[in-house]
Amino acid sequence: MKKSVNDYQFQIWYSAEDECWIAQVVGWPSIMADGASVEEAAYEIRASLALALKVSLEHGNPIPEPQSAGQSVAATLSRSGGRGMASARLAADRRNARKAGRPRKAAKVLAAA
C-alpha cells in the first residue's frame, strides 16, 4: 500500500534555544522541520515528509510504517531496555518549560484540538 503524508503523525514543540517551533515525524526521526509559528512548522514538516516519501519511492529505499506517538516511545524504550529515555525526556521537558514559557501553553492548546 502506498503511504501518504496523511498516514503519519507529527510532534511539534517550541525550542527556546533555537527560538522556533520544531516538528518531527513520529517513527521517522530523521525528518524534521522548523518554523516561526506552529502553523509554519506543520506546513514545513508535511512538505519535508512528502519529499522524503517521493525520494524513497524513486530510489527504492525502505519507508518506515506510520506510528503513533505512543508506539514510537514504546519502541524506543524497548530498544533501550527502558532505561534513560524517560529521564532524558523529562529533563528536556523541564528545560523547555523554563525557557519557553507561554509558547508551551499554546502547544498544549493545539494538542488538545
Q: pLDDT of 35-93, one tens digit each?
A: 999 999 999 999 999 999 999 999 999 999 998 655 544 444 334 444 444 555 555 56
Given its phi and psi angles, is residue 9 left (phi above 0), alpha (psi -120 to 50 degrees) or beta?
Answer: beta
The reported pTM is: 0.60
Q: Is the predicted pLDDT of residue 109 greater than 70, yes or no?
A: no
pLDDT in tens, 15-32: 999 999 999 999 999 999
Confidence bin at 3 (pLDDT 50/70/90): confident
Query: What integer is the mean pLDDT of 95-100?
Result: 55
What's the burial of 98, exposed, middle or buried (CB within 10 Å: 0-12/13-18/19+)?
Answer: exposed
Name the DSSP letter for residue 7.
G
C-alpha cell at 36: 516561526
Third-level CATH fold of 8-112: Double Stranded RNA Binding Domain (3.30.160)
Give pLDDT, residue 112: 55
